[in-house]
Amino acid sequence: QKEVEQDPGPLSVPEGAIVSLNCTYSNSAFQYFMWYRQYSRKGPELLMYTYSSGNKEDGRFTAQVDKSSKYISLFIRDSQPSDSATYLCAMSEYNTGRRALTFGSGTRLQVQP
């Protein structure tokens, strides 16, 4: 079983829709939670970064962490065609011997104009 599970999609939505992207994980030691966006043939870029449980909002994007359920979400409001990309969740332990991020496999999002 993978430590981080993410539905690969593709997820196709009309422009203006609210998008919900999700990841589940099994390692209770994960403390930092991130969302990266990756356009085709490009490297990932950090979109959102949260520590522990709760919500964080940045413009049209909201990241939500529920550590009790081992479940994280990224919500995109008023989605735009420019949001079409692959979204990768990533997680890390903190202050342990494990010095790396664990990535989900990514969800491909298509926003139709």
Partner 1 sequence: NAGVTQTPKFQVLKTGQSMTLQCAQDMNHEYMSWYRQDPGMGLRLIHYSVGAGITDQGEVPNGYNVSRSTTEDFPLRLLSAAPSQTSVYFCASSSGIWEKLFFGSGTQLSVL
> Which residues form the interface with partner 1 (CB under 8 A)?
4, 6, 8, 32, 41-46, 49, 88, 90, 92, 94, 99-101, 103-106
- Of 76 and 90, nearer to partner 1 (C-beta) is 90
Going across the sheet that includes 71-76, the strands are 4-6, 19-25, 71-76, 61-66, 54-58
DSSP string, 59-108: TTEEEEEETTTTEEEEEESS--GGG-EEEEEEEE-SSSS--S-EE---EE
Q: How far is the CB of 18 from partner 1 (least distance, A)?
A: 25
- Of 23 and 79, nearer to partner 1 (C-beta) is 23
Q: How far is the CB of 48 from partner 1 (least distance, A)?
A: 11
- Of 30 and 79, nearer to partner 1 (C-beta) is 30
Q: Cα–chain-centroid distance for residue 102?
A: 12
Q: How far is the CB of 15 from partner 1 (least distance, A)?
A: 27
Stretch (H or E) spanning 22:
strand 19-25
Q: How far is the CB of 81 from partner 1 (least distance, A)?
A: 22
